[in-house]
Amino acid sequence: MAVPARRPPTAAEAKALAHPLRQRLVRLLSAEDLTNRQLADRLRADPATVLYHVRILAEAGLVEQLPVRHGTRGAREKPYRSTGRSWWLDDPLAGAAPDVRFGPVELAMEELRASVPGDRATFATFTLHLTPDDVTELDRRLLEVIDEYVATDAERRDRPVHRGFFAVHRVATGSPPGSPDGGRDGAGDPGDPGNRQE
């Protein structure tokens, strides 16, 4: 399967993702197909509120309604599923407030903390000395591997769900954080390769 090209988000996509509840909805629907009632129960939120946000995501093409199915008691249900499109957007939360921009990272950490040891397949931290070009190349090579898995994930929906995330950030050295130079050591900022979520 060809790997889709990453592209800038549309205004509707960026707006849809720039809300904490909608970030949670995309995350839930990337793992399993859920109805509006199930989503509301998971989030302990009002079903009408959840439906409002689901529709915004659907209009932006980030989630889709699946064919009607029959629930455990025979009732007709309308499940939703993430389209996976958000992964292929180039930094859709650029310019958003920090609590919104890093919302997907916070959700990932929340899930990780709630997991049990047997569920954690791998975990590692590392420190590297990199130029801005090195950071760009590292991001490209990591994404090349992950993109192949994301692009073919629909073929593995019968397997256990795993979640992952990676982050590369500049370490503050020299001046303390909050000083005029931001705690940097005087070297150039390697830049921000962007925010991707799914």
Average pLDDT, integer, range 3-21? 95
Residue 1 in this model has a pLDDT that exceeds 90: no
Residue 162 in this model has a pLDDT that exceeds 70: yes
pLDDT tens for each residue of 53-97: 999 999 999 999 999 988 777 788 999 999 999 999 999 999 999
Identify the sign of the CA torsion 156, 84, 68, 46: positive
Give the CA angle between residues 6, 9, 10 to the nearest 5°. 140
DSSP state of 177: T
- The domain limits of the chain are 11-156
pLDDT tens for each residue of 100-127: 999 999 999 999 888 888 887 788 899 9
CATH hierarchy code of domain 11-156: 1.10.10.10
* Whole-prediction pTM: 0.82
How many whole angstroms separate alpha carbon 115 and alpha carbon 31? 15
